Amino acid sequence: MISKGDLTVNNTISQRDAFLTKVYELMAKDKDVIVMTADMGAPALDKIRKDFPGQFVNIGIAEQNAIAVASGLVLEGKKVFVYAIAAFITLRCLELIRVENAIMDIPLTIVGVGVGFGYESAGPTHFLLEDLAVMRSMPNITIHSITDSIMASKIAEISYDFGHTNYVRIDRHTPPDIYNDNHDFTQGFSVLREGDGIYIISTGIMTHQALKIAEKLNKNGINIGVIDLYTLPINVEPFVETVKLANKLVSLEEHFLPGGLGSSVLEVLNDNCVSIPVKRLGLSIKDGYCYRYGGREDVRNHYKLDEGNIEEEIKSFIG
């Protein structure tokens, strides 16, 4: 059941450009593929704008209208990718997503860039620390939390005829690729590293942190595994099968703790009578929002989610 990630490091392009490059290919094959953007700029987007002007819609800084108009296009047979800043295309127009895409089940690909602290110096308005909780609470919406550019490209491909709404959360930063080109993402999670009964379950950019920390701990004789969980809702059966024999689990997310990745894991374990101690590492809402401009690791440090703090938390949890 376990699909093991191949830890090859490639010369990486951004998740955004990998995603949009694949969408470009889809547009070339099918004139019904439409890209809608809320006034976003990107090299791959410029190419789309130039080569497929009839399949490109710049809706302006109007996320509510983006969701409504895109849904109307889908009703008439278009396959629409809405691309915008993640915080705004999820939370600003949440109720439209609820009506058009959850209630009416109009399938849309919503591509949000800049999750977590991705817009590192832009302050809390541009951070997105609630989207997992919010978007997974509605029927007919699947979340794909992107880890690297290989995954971004593959998820763009499956978005083409996904059948329901697919929310793709893309990081602004470009960590090295960790998957190989042939990796199958259909399971919704991948065991990137085996451990001796202890796993970090992480998502998005934090999977790169998890791998680094696991490597470090391994050098100190602690063999800890890493599971990259990139699809929500969790693919329950194989997930439970994979983790049920673990002794301890750590969840790791750049997201507020209520309702996030760790909550998801706990729900699945609890509902399946799997009793394993889980340490949730993420952002405590007690720490509020913050205005810090020293880079992503510095913002993480405010929430004790920097590499050093995570390592200490894990060590003390596993004893």
Partner 1 sequence: MGQLIAQLEKKAHHLRVEMFEMCVRAKTGHVTSSLSCMDILIALYHGGLLLHNPEDPDWGGRDRLILSKGQGSPALYTVLADVGFFDKKDLDSFAQKEGKFGVHLQKDVPGVEITSGSLGQGFGVAAGIALAAKMNRELFLTYVIVGDGELYEGSMWETAMFASHNNLNNLVTIVDRNYLCVTDFTEDLIKLEPLKEKWISFGWDVKKIDGHSYEEIFSSLNSIRSRRSCKPLVIIADTAKGEGIESLSDLPLWHGQAPVKEDEIRECRNDLERRFNSE
Q: Residue numbers of the site for partner 1 (CB under 8 A)?
A: 34, 54-55, 57, 59-60, 62, 64-65, 67-78, 95-96, 99-100, 103-104
Among the listed residues 214, 313, 298, 305, the one whose alpha carbon sits nearest the alpha carbon of residue 257: 305
Instruction: Report in angstroms how near the CB of residue 64 gets to partner 1 at its nearest.
Output: 4
Instruction: Report in angstroms how near the CB of residue 102 gets to partner 1 at its nearest.
Output: 11
- C-alpha to C-alpha distance for 5 and 18, rounded to whole angstroms: 19
CB atoms within 10 A of CB 268: 18
The token duo for 263 is 């909550």
Instruction: Report in angstroms how near the CB of residue 87 gets to partner 1 at its nearest.
Output: 18
Amino acid identity of residue 92, one-letter, is R
Instruction: Report in angstroms how near the CB of residue 140 gets to partner 1 at its nearest.
Output: 13
User: Toward partner 1, which CB reaches closer, 77 or 319?
Assistant: 77
User: Toward partner 1, which CB reaches closer, 99 or 318?
Assistant: 99
Instruction: Report in angstroms how near the CB of residue 61 gets to partner 1 at its nearest.
Output: 9
φ, ψ of residue 164 in degrees (nearest 5):
-135, 180
CB atoms within 10 A of CB 4: 11
- C-alpha to C-alpha distance for 227 and 132, rounded to whole angstroms: 17
User: Toward partner 1, which CB reaches closer, 67 or 214?
Assistant: 67
Q: Which residues contact 231 (CB under 8 A, 6 or more apart)?
A: 142, 143, 144, 145, 185, 187, 188, 189
User: Toward partner 1, which CB reaches closer, 53 or 221?
Assistant: 53
Q: Which strands make up the sheet holding 225-229, listed edge to edge? A: 189-193, 225-229, 198-202, 248-256, 278-283
User: Toward partner 1, which CB reaches closer, 75 or 285?
Assistant: 75
